[in-house]
Structure formats: structure tokens, C-alpha cells
Amino acid sequence: LGRVGKITAEKWKVTDENGQTTYPLREKGYNMNDIIGISGLESAYEEELRGKDGVETITRNSDGVIVDTALTTVPEPGHTVQLTIDSRFQKAVDKALAENIDMINRVYNTGSMKAAAGAAVVLDVKDGSVLAASNYPSFDQNLYATQYSEYSADESLPLFNRALQGLYTPG
């Protein structure tokens, strides 16, 4: 439901239209080699999920041998974000969406007109929480880094999150 990755040079050093350079992530306590949320929920909840680094002070003697260590700043874990999405229900919605697009193409085959993509979002009517959000076609997040060129060149746009980024009339 999101990806994490290294901080890019563009995110680390930001130059505005007046030529003023700032380092917004450094100002928030990040180090240049930290891993951050770069898409999806990992990005949206980065500040909640991120903990705080600890600091350990190491004292060495003149021979370089460690003589003392002290934890000067205790690390703090990030917070937990609890989702309302149930993984089994999500898989069922993913499967149903793919099967329905396949059925539309088999039953209503109109030559060159094909159903190539779709999205489904299921909300709890009582509280509006998201129970499932599905996209078709989708991609394997475990293969994102190695298959990015293939995914990004695919005309069916599997990287486009239709469920969350598409603009559609409800119904």
C-alpha cells in the first residue's frame, strides 16, 4: 500500500523560483541517507510512521579501544497506523474486478473496443472507512524496482492508481 525508498536529491535540496535553496527534510530531522515513504500510505503517513533516531556516545582511549558507551538520546519508534482494509477481502475484490473485466471482454466483445482497465472502492456505509481499493491492471510491488521499465511502458498504465487518483462520476 505504498513504497519506501532513499531520499532523492530533488527532495533533499529544494530550490524555489527565486533561487533560494532549502533543505526541508533536514529541517525535519532526516539524514540524507534515510529511507522515507515515497508513495501511497507510506508517504501519506510518513510523519506518523517515522521514529526518531537515538544517539550513542562512544569514548575511546588513546589506543582506540572503547572504554565507555552511553546512550545519550534514546531512540523512539514510529507510531502504528491501523488500516480498515482486510487483506482477504481486498484479494477477493481484486479477483472480482479482474474477472468482471475479463467477462465484459468475452460477453460484450465489440471488436476493437475492449475493457482494458477498472477500479473498485468498497466503503463501510456506517463510518466511511475503506474496506478495499482495487485497480486493474495492477502490478506486483515486490517486482517494482526490477520491472519498473516494463510497468511504466505498459499502455494499460498499471502504475496509475485508478481507485485513488482517477476522477470518475460516482455510480
Q: Domain boundaries in the chain?
A: 2-73, 87-165
For 4-11, what is the mean pLDDT? Answer: 90
Give the integer Cα–Cα distance in Å for 109 and 170: 25
pTM, full prediction? 0.67
Residue 34 pLDDT > 80, yes or no? Answer: yes
21-33 pLDDT per residue, tens = 999 999 888 989 9
Model confidence at 167, in pLDDT bands (50, 70, 90)? Answer: confident
Per-residue confidence (pLDDT) for residue 40, from 0 to 100: 83
Name which of 5, 61, 14, 55 is nearest 33 in CA terms: 5
Tell me the sheet residues that pair with 68: 59
Give the integer Cα–Cα distance in Å for 132 and 127: 14
Residue 154 pLDDT > 90, yes or no? Answer: no
CB 46 within 8 A of CB 29: no
Per-residue confidence (pLDDT) for residue 105, from 0 to 100: 86
